Amino acid sequence: MILVHCSRKEIGRRWAEILSSEFGAEMVSLSEQVQEYEKVEIAVCWKAPKRMFYDYPNLKFIQSVGAGVDHIFDSENAIPGAKIARIIDPQLSADMFEFILTIVLANMKQLNLYYDQQRRKLWKENSYNSIKDITISILGLGVIGSHVASNLSAIGFNTLGWSQSEKNISGVQSFQGIDGLNDMLAQTDYLVNILPLTESTRNIIDANFLSKLKKSSYFINVGRGPQVVDQALISAIDQGILSGATLDVFHHEPLHVDHEFWTHPKIIVTPHVASITNLDTASEQVFENIRRYKKGLNPINQVSLDKKY
């Protein structure tokens, strides 16, 4: 039996529908409708409540319906003995590239400033920036980060990337380790975070990290909120270390109404929409993994339980 739990109920219902049409409605249950807990062997999920999977004694396979699996490890739902898989979908990577490109171009071409000037009926030219003069650094060169980096490089940005192991991506300069990081940050005009959330990346973007950036660089967070020390980010913007930031991910989502990010004049907040799993393009790999589970095979896009990504 396949259990479906997504933090947004309507998304959970859509997954339950498409899984039912593939495997039969009697094989699929939304978490709130499960009657026989011991029959559940597979969970298809996004942000299940803490330790929820401990209620299912025979759960053996957990499929995240997003690229990230931190929601499974953080909620302590990576139950012993269960295999975990995530979504790897070219559409997720393509959408992430489009989002980042949009933010960078809008910022480079001063769109917000001109919008603000328009409201004041102010006709004033500001500095002009071209792609060839801009250096973008990507934190995290996994499947999505590599795609983003290689596409940014292909359209003419000077593109740098930081990752655990050296990466060979055409047109992208690869950096590793703390020295590599500092070297990269010192050259950066736009810093894009796409790191997975693990214990070693939690709070990585703190005051010390931000102090290594080239002055007036711009920060885009499409990785995870807990990788950033919020107060350090605000101070870096207020001190002019950063010229501003676009944030798509947060410590707590939805972002609390009282959070300073909402009203900071140099911060743009988007509601975790940089790249969203497309059910049409992602469902086939979930079906494939369920078939594999039934045949006793390992899932595709399996997550390392040691690395936690």
Which sequence positions are flagged as catalytic? Answer: 224, 272
Pick between residue 66 and residue 142 the one whose CB is nearest to ligand GLV: 66
Q: Cα-Cα-Cα-Cα dihedral of 270, 51, 279, 144, to 10°?
A: 60
d(Cα 3, Cα 164) in Å, to the nearest integer? 35
Does position 277 bind ligand GLV by CB under 6 A?
Answer: yes
**Count of residues that bind ligand GLV according to CB under 6 A:** 4
Pick between residue 153 and residue 277 the one whose CB is nearest to ligand GLV: 277
Sign of CA dihedral 186, 233, 205, 98: negative
DSSP symbol at 207: H
Residue nearest to ligand GLV (CB): 66
Which residue type sits at 142?
G
Does position 67 bind ligand GLV by CB under 6 A?
Answer: yes
Alpha helices per DSSP H over the chain? 9-23, 70-74, 90-108, 111-119, 143-154, 177-185, 207-211, 230-238, 279-295
CB 139 within 8 A of CB 192: yes
Per-residue x/- marks for ligand GLV, 11-40, CB under 6 A? ------------------------------
Residues 6+ apart with CB under 8 A from 178: none
Which one of 54-62, 63-71, 114-122, 238-246 is the stretch in contact with ligand GLV (CB under 6 A)?
63-71
State in angstroms the smallest separation of the CB of 132 from ligand GLV. Answer: 31
Q: Out of 66, 145, 225, 299, name the contact with ligand GLV by CB under 6 A.
A: 66
State in angstroms the smallest separation of the CB of 65 from ligand GLV. Answer: 8
Which one of 3-11, 64-72, 102-110, 211-219 is the stretch in contact with ligand GLV (CB under 6 A)?
64-72
Binding site for ligand GLV (CB under 6 A): 66-68, 277
